[in-house]
Structure 1
Amino acid sequence: MTDAAAKAPFTRAVTAEFRRVVASRTPLWGLVFGLLPVLPLLVAVSQVDLGALPPGEAASLEHAITAALLHGGVVGAAAFGALRTASAFEKGILARDVLSSGLRPALAARFLVAAGAGAVLATAAVAIGVAGVAIVSAGRVTPNVGVVALVPVAGVGGAIWGALVGTIVRAPLFVLFAALVPLSAATFASGTALEDVVPLAALSASASPTVAAVLAGPAWLLVLALVAVATGRRRPLL
């Protein structure tokens, strides 16, 4: 088989999934979920006299807003990946893709498109959030540009997280709960011994992340991937 012939099923699967994503409302829902973590901070900023804040408190506020923006990007991408994947199982879309292109091309295409869409959604959510912060603060609060530049990477990770959860849960009714609740664990673990090991420990709004916190996200993705593979082998994929 030639290289072109081997790539054809994968290319066909990517094209089909991309067209479905563009025509669906799932990206809109992902954007909505991506903006939810930012809204409380926008309300808080609008009620604070920013000109009277001491330098230390102003820096803390900027750090908190930056963390909330990144958290929103990850959440939006995860919601998108989870809904798309669970719906593909429920509606038989993945089954048709497997019959048309093969198992590996179909799965690889789904994760590739989810990752790309996650990067775009996270960037869009953060861009809207940055604009909102600029408006409510009259330009006095500026998120950390260097950290915000990592948004596409965070979006890719969030989308893959959601897609893996969708592969395990496969039920659109429950997949959002399963995908998003663990991503909110950092809020409840703050100040405890677990704050550096939760999935989004690196986005802690209270302090700069430790090495353990930065590695926690990739480690959880690896664990989730292993669980997805293990559960997939114990039950039919289609």
Structure 2
Amino acid sequence: MYRRAAKIEALRLLRDPSLAACLGIAVLPVIALIVGIPDDLPRVQLAHALEGPMRMSLVANVALLGAAFGAVRTAAAFRAGVVGRDALVLHADPPFWTRVASATVGAGAIGAATWVFGVIGTSLIKGLQVFGYESLLATIIVGAGAGVWGTAIGALVRSPLAALPLAIVSLSPAMFLSTVVPDFAAVLPLSSALQAVGSPIADTSVGSHGSAVIALLWLTVALGTAFVAYRRRSLLP
């Protein structure tokens, strides 16, 4: 059943309009990054800024896009009755976990596309070569994790209109709380994920390994809660 469910989900992912939309939207944070690059800084300082705060901003936007993608596609599948039909044909568990896997792959692809756009934009427009392959890995990891986070939210909310803002609101407070209470913000989902991949929002006492554990705990709790709700609640729209 898992093999059949995985094949179905792979075909759905390739035809998913929300994936195409998010891949297109991935250009926007790159445009904002390029526009925000000051022209009066020396090249060394520009490279430092791009690999520091601007890289953090880019990866944070990848997290928001990945979460939005996972939340909307999952909530839409519940609302359209696709999840209920899959459960009838393929049993309950395989469709849930293969949907999580497909959201992870799709959101990771969004992260990779954002990195590619960033490399092209900064090199062609600004003549800078700053985004290395370690930042590619960071955007893919954060994007994939955000896809799982969004999938859990979509499975709990089951309404695309509500899942989209909730996915964004669940992550975005870390951005402004990090300037007020950085140690508290460090344990929030977005902050811990960014710290774990080497793009911290602010200096905190939590190290990268601790942040990785915190981020994984957030994902485990969110996904576990969504799976329990999936098994206990009606799958009918």
TM-score, normalised on structure 1?
A: 0.83
**Matching of residue 198 in structure 1 with residue 188 in structure 2:** yes
Report which stretch shifted further, 69-78 or 201-210: 201-210
**3-state DSSP of counterpart to 2:36:** helix
- C-alpha separation in 1, matches of 2:77 and 2:203: 39
- Identify if the C-alpha distance between structure 1 residues 162 and 35 changes in structure 2 by more than 3 Å, giving closer, same or farther: farther
Counterpart of 1:62 in structure 2 is: 51
- C-alpha separation in 1, matches of 2:202 and 2:24: 25
- C-alpha separation in 2, matches of 1:18 and 1:33: 22
- C-alpha separation in 2, matches of 1:156 and 1:14: 17
The Cα of 1:234 is off from its aligned counterpart by 5.0
Deviations 1:93-118 (A, max 9, x none): 11111111111111122112111222
Counterpart amino acid of residue 215 in structure 1? V
- Identify if the C-alpha distance between structure 1 residues 223 and 36 changes in structure 2 by more than 3 Å, giving closer, same or farther: farther
Unaligned runs of 5+ in 2: none
Structure with max Cα Rg: 1
**1:103-182 to 2 correspondences below 5 Å:** 103-139=92-128, 142-182=130-170
The one of 54, 57, 62 equivalent to 1:73 is: 62
Counterpart of 1:19 in structure 2 is: 11
Equivalent residues of 1:123, 1:152 under 8 A apart:
yes
- Identify if the C-alpha distance between structure 1 residues 35 and 194 changes in structure 2 by more than 3 Å, giving closer, same or farther: farther
The Cα of 1:177 is off from its aligned counterpart by 0.8
TM-score, normalised on structure 2?
A: 0.83
Calculate percent identity across the aligned residue pairs: 29
The Cα of 1:147 is off from its aligned counterpart by 3.3
Counterpart of 1:48 in structure 2 is: 39
- C-alpha separation in 2, matches of 1:30 and 1:107: 22
- Identify if the C-alpha distance between structure 1 residues 68 and 227 changes in structure 2 by more than 3 Å, giving closer, same or farther: same
Counterpart of 1:231 in structure 2 is: 229
Equivalent residues of 1:78, 1:162 under 8 A apart:
yes
- C-alpha separation in 2, matches of 1:228 and 1:69: 28
Counterpart amino acid of residue 125 in structure 2? V
**Matching of residue 210 in structure 1 with residue 207 in structure 2:** yes
Equivalent residues of 2:92, 2:231 under 8 A apart:
no
The one of 17, 26, 31 equivalent to 1:39 is: 31
The Cα of 1:204 is off from its aligned counterpart by 2.8
Deviations 1:20-47 (A, max 9, x none): 22223111222244444443322111x4
Equivalent residues of 1:75, 1:158 under 8 A apart:
yes
Unaligned runs of 5+ in 1: 1-8
- C-alpha separation in 2, matches of 1:146 and 1:122: 13
Counterpart amino acid of residue 189 in structure 2? P
- C-alpha separation in 2, matches of 1:76 and 1:31: 9
Report which stretch shifted further, 33-42 or 129-138: 33-42
Deviations 1:63-98 (A, max 9, x none): 122212322332222221111100110000111111
* Alpha-carbon RMSD: 2.4
**Matching of residue 184 in structure 1 with residue 180 in structure 2:** no
The Cα of 1:12 is off from its aligned counterpart by 1.8
Equivalent residues of 1:34, 1:75 under 8 A apart:
no
